[in-house]
């Protein structure tokens, strides 16, 4: 084992819970990197106690002082980018450029949190003579963040900087598949001056998450992961009357019009479907090819075939994921779809035990096929044909998901039409991965998000705070009126 057993962090100290352990694998080699504890409700309780102990001091610290920690943390993320990116590559498998992008994005998320003092200044107005109303934002209290495997550093940083800048104390439950990065996040925050107890890390799986949903000492739960688990977590947390924002899976449709710029469309679409081995909730999954788009498809196939697994495309997360993705492709082929580019059976020299699958493009898929409807979460793009933009939008709208959608066209009116009518929370024009960047918020619609608000950007302020409305009258001459 390259790394010591993963530990929880409670009240600023790293501790080993008395819990069963799970092996942690390097997806590029299949080798065991470490072991992660599957924490219990007792461990969650210890984290909640530590968070509550820190809460009065932290929430009582002025926000301008709190964000000083985050300024330093941002600098530390940048300073340690090579080391952090290498760790992400090791535990998640993504290639170095993708791992570095994840760290850079974490710095951008932290930069936004540093700007929160300018955004939560509150409001004040004299509402009648001598009477003043003001609104101030208060922390929610002890909150939790449950995160998935596909961004071991970035997704925890969707929630941590904003939640703690706004005065909350947090319990992070990272994915048990990628638990190593969380320790470095905590260590860098500690180095930046974060007081003990403001951020706890509890490792584990279902049992720990259920304990987070059930614990009366946790006021809010943010979740990012698959739709199936997002629904479970949303239902369970809200059944205990706590606020919950649960982001789920995706099936993103990219509509390609015949007038699309061939090179721009082909390169952006292939980058979207193959980046991070297709394991992004914003990845292109279904291309809806409108009328004659053969020129784009031919070029896409060239671009995808030129990609070198192991260099341009990393492995998928696990042997089970590789098997699931391969099964989807086999099934589509058996149902009559055409495999244009086939990534099955990929082997990388020297890493033969790694979980590799090359970019795969499948044409003549029909909307009723399983591969056109379900999230595959691998470097696989299916092409569904449509006669016009209305039919393309019907196909997009029929998906129960609603994370992202894009259109590739040179026509402003078609672009606007798709932006208005796509049933997705994040839409793009000539962009393969339409992720909004700060200060804009990230968040989908439909079965890609349960709960109100967004997880990042300005939209997250409402989730991580509660507004207090204050009405005051000091002016004795103000008298009494119908509102008194
Ligand atoms: P997952 O749902 O399997 O796991 C997410 C988290 O839930 C992990 O921390 C895991 O330990 C926990 N968990 C798993 N099963 C549980 C259960 N039964 N009860 C309670 N907790 C449970 O997701 P994953 O495989 O780690 O991540 C991939 C998924 O995440 C994809 O569906 C992807 O689209 C989605 N995702 C969505 C977004 C978004 O913003 N919408 C972003 C990233 C990833």
Cα(67)–Cα(160) distance, rounded to whole angstroms?
12
Ligand 1 centroid to Cα of residue 109, in Å, is 21
Asked if 100 and 448 count as a contact pair (C-beta separation under 8 A), the reply is: no
376 lies in some domain:
yes
Q: Which of 9, 169, 276, 281 is catalytic?
A: 281
Q: Are residues 122 and 190 part of one domain? A: yes
Q: Are residues 33 and 52 part of one domain? A: yes
Q: Are residues 347 and 263 part of one domain? A: yes
- Give the closest residue (by CA) to ligand 1 atom 20: 206
Q: Are residues 307 and 181 part of one domain? A: no
| pLDDT grade for 484, boundaries at 50, 70 and 90 | low
The tens digit of pLDDT for each residue in 186-198 reads 999 999 999 999 9
Q: What is the CATH number of the domain that holds 352?
A: 3.40.309.10
**Secondary structure of the chain in the HEC alphabet?**
CCCCCCCEEECCEEECCCCCEEEEEECCCCEEEEEEECCCHHHHHHHHHHHHHHHHHHHCCCHHHHHHHHHHHHHHHHHCHHHHHHHHHHHHCCCHHHHHHHHHHHHHHHHHHHCHHHHCCCEEEEEECCEEEEEEEEECCEEEEECCCCCCCHHHHHHHHHHHHCCCEEEEECCCCCCHHHHHHHHHHHHCCCCCCCEEECCCCHHHHHHHHHCCCCCEEEEECCHHHHHHHHHHHHHCCCEEEEECCCCEEEEECCCCCHHHHHHHHHHHHHHHHHCCCCCEEEEEEECCCHHHHHHHHHHHHCCCECCCECCCCCHHHHHHHHHHHHHHHHCCCEEEECCCCCCCCCCCCCCCCCCEEEECCCCCCHHHHCCCCCCEEEEEEECCHHHHHHHHHHCCCCCEEEEECCCHHHHHHHHHHCCCCEEEECCCCCCCCCCCCCCCCHHHEECCCCCCCHHHHHHHEEEEEEEEECCHHHCCCCCC
Q: Does 463 sit in the ligand 1 pocket, CB within 6 Å?
A: no
Predicted confidence at residue 393, as pLDDT, reads: 98
Minimum-distance ligand 1 atom for the alpha carbon of 148: 26
394 lies in some domain:
yes
Q: Are residues 317 and 182 part of one domain? A: no
Ligand 1 centroid to Cα of residue 175, in Å, is 8
Minimum-distance ligand 1 atom for the alpha carbon of 146: 9
Q: Are residues 281 and 351 part of one domain? A: yes
443 lies in some domain:
no
Q: Are residues 194 and 176 part of one domain? A: yes
Predicted confidence at residue 79, as pLDDT, reads: 98
438 lies in some domain:
no
The tens digit of pLDDT for each residue in 372-395 reads 999 999 999 999 999 999 999 999
Q: Which domain holds residue 101?
A: 8-248+448-469
pLDDT over 90 percentage in the chain: 96
Q: Are residues 238 and 112 part of one domain? A: yes
Q: Are residues 300 and 272 part of one domain? A: yes
In terms of Cα–Cα distance, which of 408, 446, 404, 409 is closest to 426? Answer: 404
Tell me the whole-structure pTM to 2 decimals.
0.97
Q: Are residues 70 and 208 part of one domain? A: yes
pLDDT for residue 350 is more than 80: yes
Q: Which of 38, 225, 453 most suits a substitution to test ligand 1, by most atoms within 8 Å of the C-beta?
A: 225
Q: Are residues 264 and 193 part of one domain? A: no
Q: Does 434 sit in the ligand 1 pocket, CB within 6 Å?
A: no
Cα(272)–Cα(257) distance, rounded to whole angstroms?
17
220 lies in some domain:
yes
Q: Which of 229, 247, 280 most suits a substitution to test ligand 1, by most atoms within 8 Å of the C-beta?
A: 229
105 lies in some domain:
yes
Q: Are residues 347 and 217 part of one domain? A: no
pLDDT for residue 209 is more than 70: yes
Q: Does 156 sit in the ligand 1 pocket, CB within 6 Å?
A: no
475 lies in some domain:
no
* Residue 9 designated active-site: no
The tens digit of pLDDT for each residue in 411-457 reads 999 999 999 999 999 999 999 999 999 999 999 999 999 999 899 99
> How many domains does one find in the chain?
2
396 lies in some domain:
yes
Predicted confidence at residue 312, as pLDDT, reads: 98
């Amino acid at each position: 084992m390259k790394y010591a057993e993963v530990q929880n962090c409670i009240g600023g100290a790293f501790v080993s819970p008395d819990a069963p352990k799970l092996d942690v694998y390097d997806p590029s080699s299949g080798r065991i990197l470490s072991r992660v504890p599957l924490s219990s409700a007792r461990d969650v309780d210890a984290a909640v106690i530590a968070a509550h102990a820190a809460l009065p001091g932290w929430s009582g610290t002025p926000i301008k002082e709190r964000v000083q920690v985050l300024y330093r943390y941002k600098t530390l993320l940048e300073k340690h980018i090579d080391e952090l990116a290498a760790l992400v590559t090791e535990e998640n498998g993504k290639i170095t450029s993708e791992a570095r992008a994840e760290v850079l994005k974490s710095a951008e998320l932290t930069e936004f949190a540093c700007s929160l003092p300018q955004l939560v200044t509150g409001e004040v107005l004299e509402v009648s003579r001598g009477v003043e109303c003001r609104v101030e934002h208060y922390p929610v209290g002890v909150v939790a963040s449950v995160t998935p495997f596909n961004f071991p550093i970035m997704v925890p940083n969707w929630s941590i900087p904003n939640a703690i800048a706004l005065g909350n104390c947090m319990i992070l439950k990272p994915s048990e598949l990628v638990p190593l990065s969380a320790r470095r996040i905590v260590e860098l925050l500690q180095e930046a001056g974060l007081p003990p107890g403001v951020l706890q890390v509890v490792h584990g799986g279902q049992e720990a998450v259920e304990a987070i949903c059930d614990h009366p000492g946790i006021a809010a739960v943010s979740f990012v992961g698959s739709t199936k688990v997002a629904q479970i977590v949303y239902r369970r947390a809200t059944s205990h009357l706590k606020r919950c924002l649960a982001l789920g899976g995706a099936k993103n449709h990219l509509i390609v019009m015949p007038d699309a710029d061939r090179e721009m469309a082909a390169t952006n679409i292939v980058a979207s479907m193959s980046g991070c081995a297709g394991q992004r909730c914003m990845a292109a999954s279904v291309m809806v090819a409108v009328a004659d788009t053969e020129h784009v498809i031919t070029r896409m196939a060239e671009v995808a075939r030129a990609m070198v697994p192991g260099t341009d495309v990393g492995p998928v997360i696990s042997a089970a994921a590789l098997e699931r993705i391969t099964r989807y492709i086999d099934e589509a082929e058996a149902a009559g779809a055409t495999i244009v580019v086939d990534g099955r059976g990929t082997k990388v020299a020297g890493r033969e035990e790694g979980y590799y699958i090359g970019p795969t493009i499948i044409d003549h898929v029909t909307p009723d096929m399983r591969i056109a409807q379900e999230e595959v979460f691998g470097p696989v793009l299916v092409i569904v044909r449509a006669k016009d933009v209305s039919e393309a939008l019907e196909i997009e709208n029929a998906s129960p998901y609603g994370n992202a959608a894009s259109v590739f066209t040179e026509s402003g009116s078609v672009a606007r039409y798709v932006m208005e009518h796509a049933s997705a929370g994040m839409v793009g024009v000539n962009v393969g991965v339409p992720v909004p960047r700060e200060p804009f918020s990230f968040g989908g619609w439909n079965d890609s998000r349960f709960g109100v608000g967004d997880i990042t950007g300005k939209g997250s302020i409402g989730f991580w705070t509660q507004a207090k409305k204050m009405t005051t009258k000091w002016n004795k001459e103000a008298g009494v009126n119908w509102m008194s």
